[in-house]
Amino acid sequence: MVKKVPRLNGKVESIYKGHVVHLLREGVDMPDGRTIDFEVVRHAPATAVLAIDDQERAIFVHQFRHAIGGQIWEVPAGIMEDGEDPMTCARRELREETGFSADEWIALGKMYTAPGFCDEIIYLFLARGLTAGSQDLDHNEFLHPHAIPLAEVRRMVAAGEIDDSKSIVALYRAAEHLHKQR
């Protein structure tokens, strides 16, 4: 017996289209015969980088985020440009936001930020072998990089001082790689 699954029925209404997000209302035919309209945010893919220096410190940025009304601790991250692959974006974002470049890159997979209403996907990376350089921030970025010892990062996550999901997932996914290198 084949299970019925919800299917997009072709009804799509654009509610708002901005620089970062596109809000749509999409009709979905449900297995029980009902049609339900879902509001969906379409978002460009992004990358996030857990960069670890030779002193076992993670490079975090303390960044203003208007949507949450203040500052938040995050790993360097950003939206992929049209046609850009995840690795190229990760390298670019690390350099732009922190000034660092890295010799070693490990892909840590992908994550969805809020799949109940948004299709944003973030590709996660671990970067090692850092070389310092200068930041090249976008006009709307106000952030400051900080090198935080990994033990302190773990404490900050446990205490709720770091509550950015992509940063926490990157730290979790990198744990095995970091443990092997000790």
Tens digit of each residue's pLDDT (9 = 90 or more) over 28-62: 999 999 999 999 999 999 999 999 999 999 999 99
Residues 6+ apart with CB under 8 A from 23: 14, 15, 16, 17, 39, 40, 41, 42
What pLDDT shows up at residue 9?
Answer: 86
Q: Are residues 137 and 59 in the same domain?
A: yes
Q: Are residues 25 and 55 in the same domain?
A: no
Q: Are residues 20 and 89 in the same domain?
A: no
pLDDT at 1 over 70: no
Q: Are residues 54 and 144 in the same domain?
A: yes
Helix (H, G, I), strand (E, B) or coil at 146: strand
Task: Kindly state whether residue 39 falls inside one of the protein's structural domains.
Answer: yes
pLDDT at 181 over 70: no
What pLDDT shows up at residue 178?
Answer: 86
Report yes or no: 130 and 100 within 8 Å, Cβ to Cβ: yes
**Mean pLDDT in the chain?**
93
Quote helix, strand, coil % in the chain, to nearest 5.
25, 45, 30
Task: Kindly state whether residue 2 falls inside one of the protein's structural domains.
Answer: no
pLDDT at 136 over 90: no
Q: Is the pTM of this model over 0.75?
A: yes
**Catalytic positions:** 141
Q: Are residues 19 and 77 in the same domain?
A: no
Q: Are residues 122 and 56 in the same domain?
A: yes
Mean per-residue pLDDT, 104-122: 97
At residue 150's C-alpha, the angle toward residues 133 and 141, to 5°, is 45
pLDDT grade, residue 4 (50/70/90)? confident
pLDDT at 182 over 70: no
Query: Hey, what are 178's tokens?
Result: 């970091």
Mean per-residue pLDDT, 112-125: 97
- Return the axis-axis angle of helices 165-180 and 150-158, rounded to nearest 10°: 140
- Cβ-in-10-Å burial (0-12, 13-18, 19+) of 126 comes to buried
Domain range holding 27? Answer: 7-43
Percent of the chain's residues with pLDDT above 90: 84
